[in-house]
C-alpha cells in the first residue's frame, strides 16, 4: 500500500521504516529540513537499536524515502499517518497546532481521497476536530477524508521490537472500510508473516499473534492516555513503597517481587528509582489530568502520582547531602544522562534535573553516558564529560547512578574503588547488588533498601516536606 508519514520523530521514523519493512511503499516528510537531510545522507537523527539497518534496507529496496516536499509526500499516500509532535503547553494541555497544520496540508495538497490516521499521542476528541478541520480546509475540493486513530505503544530503546511484535494494535474507526484498510496495512504483523524477523534475525521466539482491537476513535485515543498514565501511577506506587521501606526498614526489591508474582499486579513497571522521565509519561499524565478536569472528574490519583514522581530527584539529592554533609565544591560523578537505557534521549530525564540541582549546590560534576553525551553537551557546558565510567570515578567523593545502563553493572568496581576519593555509591536505579557492593567496601545506598537509622530519618524528613 502507498503510505505517507507526516513527522519524522521517534513515532514517525519507526512507523515509516517498519511499515516499509513489512512491504508498503512509504514516503516520510518533516518540516524540519535538516532532519530529512540527515536521513537522506543515510544517518538517523535518533539512536534506536535496529532502526538504521531497517532504514538502509528499505531505502535500498526503494520502499522507503524521505522528502522535504510535504505536498509530494501527501500525494504519494493513499493512507497518511500523522506522527507530528504534540508537546505540552504551559497549562499541561497537549499542543495540537501541528495536527491542525497537518490537516491543512493534507486538505490542500491532496489530489485524491485519503485515509488520515492519528498516530501522535492526542487527547480524546482530537479525531472529531481533525475530521472537521479536513472538511473545512478542503471545502473547495471534491476529495473525501476518512479519519482513524491508531495509537502507538512503542518504547524508546525497543521501538522496532514493539512495532513488529506488539501486544496489541488498537484502531479507532468510524466504518468497516477504514477498518479493512488498517487491517490490510498491519496484516503482516497480525499474521506474524514478517520473515525473517528483523529483530530476531529469523529465529523469532515470539509465538502469539498480537490482538487487533477495533474501537471507536474516542476510545482508541483514550486507551493511549489511560495506558501511559496507569503505568506512571504504577511506577509512583513502587516509589511510594520504596519510601516506606527506607523509612521503616524493609527491602523494596523483595516487596515488589512479592507483589509482582500476583498476575493481577504483574512485575512490569514496578521498578522504584529516580522516577519516570522521557517525552511521554510526564506530558501524557499532565494532558490526562487536564482532560479529566475538563470532564469534571476528580483526578487527584494522577496528580499524586505526578507529585511523588517530581520529588524523586530531591529525595535522592537529600541522600547525597546526608552522606556528604554539604555538596559545595564536592567532586561528584554521575553515571547516566538518558531518561532510560538504550536511548540517547534526555528529554525530561531525571539525570538532567539531578545535574542541574547539583550545579545549583556548586558541586563539581563529572558525567558519562554511553549514548546521550552529545545531546547533553549544550545543556551543561561547565561540567566534565568523561571518556568512560572510570574517568567519572577519578577523585570522586560520590558516584551517583542515574540511568541503569547494563554496562555499568559490569564495570570493574574494584578498580572504581581505587579511583574514587571516597568509595560512596548512591544508586538511583537499584542497578547494583547492595551486599556485593558493601562486601567490596563501598558505602552503598540504593532506593528503598534498608539504610542506617540516620539516613532513614533523612528520607522521612524529605518525604514529608
* Stretch touching ligand UDX by CB under 6 A, among 79-87, 202-210, 277-285, 389-397: 277-285
Smallest separation, CB 299 to ligand UDX (Å): 19
All 3 cell numbers of residue 278? 522521557
All 3 cell numbers of residue 6? 507526516
Smallest separation, CB 362 to ligand UDX (Å): 27
* Stretch touching ligand UDX by CB under 6 A, among 102-110, 148-156, 296-304, 380-388: 148-156
Do the beta carbons of residue 72 and residue 106 sit within 8 Å? Answer: no
| Binding residue for ligand UDX, selected from 277, 292, 423, 448, defined by CB under 6 A | 277
Cell numbers 512491504: residue = 23
Closest to ligand UDX by CB, 274 vs 419, is 274
Smallest separation, CB 199 to ligand UDX (Å): 16
Cell numbers 522535504: residue = 68
Closest to ligand UDX by CB, 430 vs 445, is 430
Do the beta carbons of residue 344 and residue 156 sit within 8 Å? Answer: no
Closest to ligand UDX by CB, 423 vs 428, is 428
Smallest separation, CB 236 to ligand UDX (Å): 9
Smallest separation, CB 269 to ligand UDX (Å): 4
First to last CA, the chain: 57
| Residues that contact ligand UDX, how many (by CB under 6 A) | 19
163 binds ligand UDX per the rule CB under 6 A: no
User: Please, which of residues 27-86 interact with ligand UDX by CB under 6 A?
Assistant: none
Closest to ligand UDX by CB, 239 vs 366, is 239
Among 8, 83, 245, 280, which one carries the catalytic annotation? 280
Strands 114-118 and 168-172: unpaired
| Binding residue for ligand UDX, selected from 273, 370, 423, 428, defined by CB under 6 A | 273
**Exposure letters 72-88 (e unless 16+ CB within 10 A, then b):** ebbbbbebbbbbbbbeb
| Binding residue for ligand UDX, selected from 186, 230, 269, 390, defined by CB under 6 A | 269
| Binding residue for ligand UDX, selected from 281, 316, 413, 442, defined by CB under 6 A | 281
271 binds ligand UDX per the rule CB under 6 A: yes
Q: What is the dihedral of CA 242, 244, 248, 251, to 10 degrees?
A: -30
Closest to ligand UDX by CB, 146 vs 150, is 150
C-alpha 465/C-alpha 459 separation (Å) is 10
Do the beta carbons of residue 245 and residue 298 sit within 8 Å? Answer: no
Smallest separation, CB 283 to ligand UDX (Å): 10
* Stretch touching ligand UDX by CB under 6 A, among 149-157, 242-250, 314-322, 357-365: 149-157
| Binding residue for ligand UDX, selected from 81, 145, 276, 288, defined by CB under 6 A | 276
- Nearest 5°: the CA angle 326, 330, 336 is 110
C-alpha 363/C-alpha 92 separation (Å) is 32
Between the alpha carbon of residue 346 and those of residues 89, 276, 279, 353, 427, the distances in Å are 19, 12, 9, 10, 19
Smallest separation, CB 33 to ligand UDX (Å): 26
Strands 145-149 and 114-118: parallel
Smallest separation, CB 31 to ligand UDX (Å): 23
Closest to ligand UDX by CB, 23 vs 49, is 49
User: Please, which of residues 327-366 interact with ligand UDX by CB under 6 A?
Assistant: 339-340
Q: Hey, how many other C-beta atoms are within 10 angstroms of the C-beta on 288?
A: 24
Between the alpha carbon of residue 80 and those of residues 67, 133, 234, the distances in Å are 15, 15, 34
* Stretch touching ligand UDX by CB under 6 A, among 59-67, 147-155, 198-206, 298-306: 147-155
Contact letters (x/-) for ligand UDX, 95-134, by CB under 6 A? Answer: ----------------------------------------
Instruction: Identify any residues that bridge with 232 across adjacent strands, giving them in sequence order.
Output: none
**324 phi/psi in degrees, rounded to 5:** -100, -5
* Stretch touching ligand UDX by CB under 6 A, among 138-146, 152-160, 246-254, 409-417: 152-160
User: Residues with Cβ < 8 Å from 137, sequence gap 6 or more?
Assistant: 103, 104, 106, 107, 108
H/E element, 427: strand 424-427
* Residue 197 annotated among the catalytic residues of the structure: no
Do the beta carbons of residue 81 and residue 15 sit within 8 Å? Answer: yes
| Binding residue for ligand UDX, selected from 18, 80, 270, 355, defined by CB under 6 A | 270
Smallest separation, CB 222 to ligand UDX (Å): 15
**3 phi/psi in degrees, rounded to 5:** -125, 140
Please identify every residue annotated as catalytic: 280
- Site residues (vs ligand UDX, CB under 6 A): 152-156, 228, 231, 235, 269-271, 273, 276-278, 280-281, 339-340
Amino acid at each position: 500500500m502507498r503510505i505517507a508519514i507526516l513527522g519524522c520523530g521517534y513515532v514517525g521514523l519507526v512507523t515509516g521504516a517498519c511499515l516499509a519493512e513489512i512491504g508498503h511503499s512509504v514516503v516520510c516528510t518533516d518540516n524540519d529540513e535538516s532532519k530529512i537531510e540527515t536521513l537522506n545522507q543515510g544517518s538517523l537523527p535518533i539512536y534506536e537499536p535496529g532502526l538504521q539497518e531497517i532504514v538502509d534496507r528499505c531505502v535500498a529496496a526503494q520502499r522507503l524515502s524521505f522528502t522535504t516536499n510535504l505536498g509530494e509526500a501527501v500525494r504519494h499516500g493513499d493512507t497518511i499517518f500523522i506522527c507530528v509532535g504534540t508537546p505540552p503547553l504551559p497549562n499541561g494541555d497537549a499542543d495540537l497546532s501541528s495536527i491542525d497544520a497537518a490537516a491543512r496540508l493534507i486538505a490542500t495538497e491532496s489530489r485524491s481521497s485519503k485515509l488520515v490516521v492519528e498516530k501522535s499521542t492526542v487527547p480524546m476528541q482530537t479525531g472529531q476536530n481533525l475530521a472537521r478541520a479536513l472538511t473545512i480546509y478542503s471545502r473547495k475540493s471534491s476529495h473525501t477524508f476518512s479519519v482513524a486513530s491508531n495509537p502507538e505503544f512503542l518504547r524508546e530503546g525497543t521501538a522496532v521490537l514493539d512495532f513488529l511484535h506488539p501486544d496489541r494494535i488498537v484502531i479507532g474507526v468510524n466504518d468497516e472500510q477504514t477498518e479493512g484498510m488498517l487491517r490490510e496495512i498491519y496484516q503482516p504483523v497480525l499474521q506474524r508473516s514478517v520473515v525473517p524477523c528483523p529483530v530476531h534475525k529469523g529465529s523469532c521466539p515470539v509465538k502469539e499473534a498480537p490482538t487487533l482491537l477495533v474501537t471507536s476513535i474516542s476510545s482508541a485515543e483514550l486507551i493511549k492516555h489511560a495506558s501511559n498514565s496507569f503505568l506512571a501511577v504504577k511506577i509512583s506506587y513502587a516509589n511510594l513503597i520504596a519510601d516506606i521501606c527506607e523509612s521503616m526498614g524493609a527491602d523494596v526489591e523483595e516487596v515488589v517481587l512479592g507483589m509482582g508474582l500476583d498476575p493481577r499486579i504483574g512485575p512490569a513497571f514496578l521498578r522504584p528509582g529516580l522516577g519516570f522521565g522521557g517525552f511521554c509519561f510526564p506530558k501524557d499524565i499532565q494532558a490526562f489530568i487536564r482532560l479529566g478536569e475538563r470532564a469534571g472528574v476528580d483526578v487527584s490519583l494522577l496528580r499524586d502520582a505526578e507529585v511523588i514522581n517530581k520529588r524523586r530527584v530531591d529525595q535522592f539529592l537529600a541522600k547525597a547531602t546526608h552522606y556528604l554533609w554539604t555538596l559545595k565544591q564536592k567532586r561528584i560523578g554521575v553515571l547516566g544522562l538518558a531518561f532510560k537505557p538504550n536511548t540517547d534521549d534526555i528529554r525530561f530525564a531525571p539525570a538532567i534535573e539531578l545535574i542541574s540541582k547539583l550545579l545549583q549546590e556548586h558541586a563539581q560534576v563529572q558525567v558519562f553516558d554511553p549514548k546521550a553525551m552529545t545531546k547533553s553537551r549544550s545543556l551543561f557546558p561547565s561540567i566534565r564529560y568523561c571518556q568512560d565510567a572510570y574517568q567519572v570515578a577519578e577523585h570522586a567523593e560520590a558516584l551517583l547512578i542515574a540511568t541503569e545502563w547494563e554496562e555499568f553493572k559490569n564495570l570493574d568496581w574494584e578498580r572504581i574503588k581505587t579511583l574514587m576519593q571516597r568509595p560512596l555509591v548512591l544508586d538511583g536505579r537499584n542497578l547494583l547488588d547492595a551486599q556485593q557492593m558493601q562486601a567490596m567496601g563501598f558505602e552503598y545506598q540504593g532506593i528503598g533498601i534498608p539504610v542506617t537509622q540516620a539516613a532513614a530519618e533523612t528520607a522521612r524528613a524529605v518525604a514529608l516536606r
